[in-house]
Amino acid sequence: MLPKVSVGRHCCASSSNIENYRPLVGDAIINEILELSRSLRGVRICNINATASGGGVAELLSRQIPIYQSLGVVADWRIIHGDKDFFTITKGFHNALQGAAFELTPAVINDYLEHNRLSAEALEGDYDVYVVHDPQPAALRHFVTHNSQKWIWRCHIDTSEPNQAVWEFLRPYIEMHDAAVFTMKQFVPPDLEMERVFFIPPAIDPLSTKNMELPLDLCRRVIADSGVNLREPILLQVSRFDPWKDPLGVIRAYRMVKEQRRGVQLVLVGAMAGDDPEGWGILETINAEVAIDPDLYVFTNMTGVGNMEVNAFQRGADLIIQKSLREGFGLVVSEALWKAKPIVAGAAGGIPMQFPQSYKQFLTDSVEDCATDLLYLLDHPDVAKSFGAAGKERVRGQFLLPALIRNEFRMIAQLLNR
Ligand code: UDP
């Protein structure tokens, strides 16, 4: 059997009770979710991805599944089999689907398909709907013989201009699904031929440990405890160590800011995801920079930085950076805006849609622009404050967990003709 990820028990007092979101998002959406859940009661859904921790998909599933279950929908989360070689290949696919070069050899194809075949053999058939996340398990459907279920391929990355060789290889496997879900219309590869394509952006959970309200005083104590100086400005990027998140570009932008504001500090917080072997090399390069710069900090989940600390850093930082070059959605952008924090971010993928309309000038395309925007916001705290406030309302309206659950319930009800 494919390993099942435990997301803990739920009880009515916890965030898995949908009623607890009513004060944050209003009645209409909660009532619709309750109505949809009545027609979906007893439906069995199996989410399949490659890792239980690190990155946005794991973050989303760990929050969604307890709520699904509390609403009477059977939701499981299973992890495919993989080893370092397989995850190196699938990280290459991930990058290639976002446009990077990749050498697609027969050995690569063989390894990828063999792992999918083994995972398919280990998959139980007693579900009504399978939701397959991202490229790692995209060929499972091909190897599974039980045919009565609905299969959904959920794409979390920007596949608008994929590497042709990798896309042509994966496309037939993806097209075997009954539906595909993309974060936005622009991400659909031009030649995808599927009858049902849905557009559903991800969302953050305002009640999770990562996003719950925390007293500022506590956040500042957490930050001080890590050795960062609270008397000087703090810039923060929270991201996997991935070339598309451009951590080295962030360091260059920070150094440009530092030429004007000597005390400024940069904190990089980065989780190491189980399916992302590329991260270690990037972390090593960053550590070499940290060694020569006392105002540059790097923290990882390996040194105890968990959800609570990420929350505290996001709330206590002066400015947030998310200098992505390519991005599926970028949950961290909504996480920052929900905390009413101003953010300078790359104009990539799903990031612009999260920005409040009047503050899109803080979407950047270069290191120089990023530095200029950071300096401007440091010098204009009134603009920074109103940007954060507008960002919070934008996230409330569109990118909180109930919106995602409502959209997914609508899709599943449609696919199952309920
Ligand atoms: N994250 C975290 N700790 C870290 C780095 C990232 O908890 O050190 C979380 C982050 O808060 C967010 C998710 O991982 O919830 C990253 O999602 P995003 O969509 O921004 O990027 P992805 O990693 O999926 O490309």
Of 60, 61, 64, 239, the one to substitute when testing ligand 1's pocket (max ligand atoms within 8 A of C-beta) is: 239
Task: Kindly state whether residues 260 and 135 are assigned to the same domain.
Answer: no
Domain of 98 in residue numbering reads as 9-203+400-415
Of 156, 168, 166, 167, the residue nearest 102 (C-alpha): 166
The answer to whether residue 2 sits within a structural domain is no
The answer to whether residue 170 sits within a structural domain is yes
Task: Kindly state whether residues 274 and 284 are assigned to the same domain.
Answer: yes
DSSP code, position 287: H
Distance 332 CA to ligand 1 centre (A): 6
Task: Kindly state whether residues 408 and 337 are assigned to the same domain.
Answer: no
Q: Are the C-beta atoms of 390 and 358 separated by less than 8 Å? A: yes
Nearest atom, ligand 1, residue 244 CA: 25
Distance 360 CA to ligand 1 centre (A): 22
Distance 191 CA to ligand 1 centre (A): 30
Task: Kindly state whether residues 387 and 409 are assigned to the same domain.
Answer: no
Residue whose Cα lies nearest atom 24 of ligand 1: it is: 56
The answer to whether residue 85 sits within a structural domain is yes
User: Which residues face 300 on adjacent strands?
Assistant: 270
Domain count, the chain: 2
Q: Are the C-beta atoms of 18 and 33 separated by less than 8 Å? A: yes
Task: Kindly state whether residues 393 and 404 are assigned to the same domain.
Answer: no
Distance 158 CA to ligand 1 centre (A): 16
Of 324, 357, 349, the residue nearest 237 (C-alpha): 324
CATH number of the domain to which 58 belongs: 3.40.50.2000
Task: Kindly state whether residues 386 and 409 are assigned to the same domain.
Answer: no
Task: Kindly state whether residues 411 and 374 are assigned to the same domain.
Answer: no
The answer to whether residue 131 sits within a structural domain is yes
Residue whose Cα lies nearest atom 9 of ligand 1: it is: 55
Of 209, 331, 334, 337, the one to substitute when testing ligand 1's pocket (max ligand atoms within 8 A of C-beta) is: 331
**pTM summary value:** 0.93
Residue 388's contacts (CB-CB under 8 Å, 6 or more residues apart) are: 337, 339, 340, 341, 342
The answer to whether residue 3 sits within a structural domain is no
A 10 A CB-CB count for 75 gives 22
Residue whose Cα lies nearest atom 11 of ligand 1: it is: 332
Distance 60 CA to ligand 1 centre (A): 10
State the residue for tokens 């009515």: 12
Task: Kindly state whether residues 18 and 124 are assigned to the same domain.
Answer: yes
Q: Are the C-beta atoms of 240 and 270 separated by less than 8 Å? A: yes
Task: Kindly state whether residues 375 and 405 are assigned to the same domain.
Answer: no
Cα separations in angstroms, 50 against 12, 116, 214? 30, 11, 32
Q: Give dist(CA 201, CA 198) in Å, integer.
A: 10
Q: Are the C-beta atoms of 370 and 249 separated by less than 8 Å? A: yes
- Which protein residues are within 6 Å of ligand 1, measured from CB? 55-56, 59, 210, 238-240, 269-271, 301, 305, 307, 310, 329-332, 335
Q: Give dist(CA 309, CA 73) in Å, integer.
A: 32
Q: Give dist(CA 415, CA 410) in Å, integer.
A: 9
Distance 91 CA to ligand 1 centre (A): 16
Distance 57 CA to ligand 1 centre (A): 9
The answer to whether residue 275 sits within a structural domain is yes
Task: Kindly state whether residues 384 and 405 are assigned to the same domain.
Answer: no
What's the confidence (pLDDT) of residue 14?
Answer: 60
Q: What is the pLDDT along the chain (418 residues), one digit of tens a residue?
A: 788 887 654 444 466 799 999 999 999 999 999 999 999 999 999 999 998 887 789 989 999 999 999 999 999 999 998 999 999 999 999 999 999 999 999 999 999 999 999 999 999 778 999 999 999 999 999 999 877 899 999 999 999 999 999 999 999 999 999 999 999 999 999 999 999 999 999 999 999 999 999 999 999 999 999 999 999 999 999 999 999 999 999 999 999 999 999 999 999 999 877 677 788 999 999 999 999 999 999 999 888 899 999 999 999 999 999 999 999 999 999 999 999 999 999 999 999 999 999 999 999 999 999 999 999 999 999 999 999 999 999 999 999 999 999 999 999 999 999 8
Q: Give dist(CA 240, CA 261) in Å, integer.
A: 27
Task: Kindly state whether residues 64 and 126 are assigned to the same domain.
Answer: yes
User: Which residues face 320 on adjacent strands?
Assistant: 236, 343
The residue type of 362 is F
Tokens linked to 300: 């990882």
Task: Kindly state whether residues 253 and 121 are assigned to the same domain.
Answer: no
What's the confidence (pLDDT) of residue 8?
Answer: 57
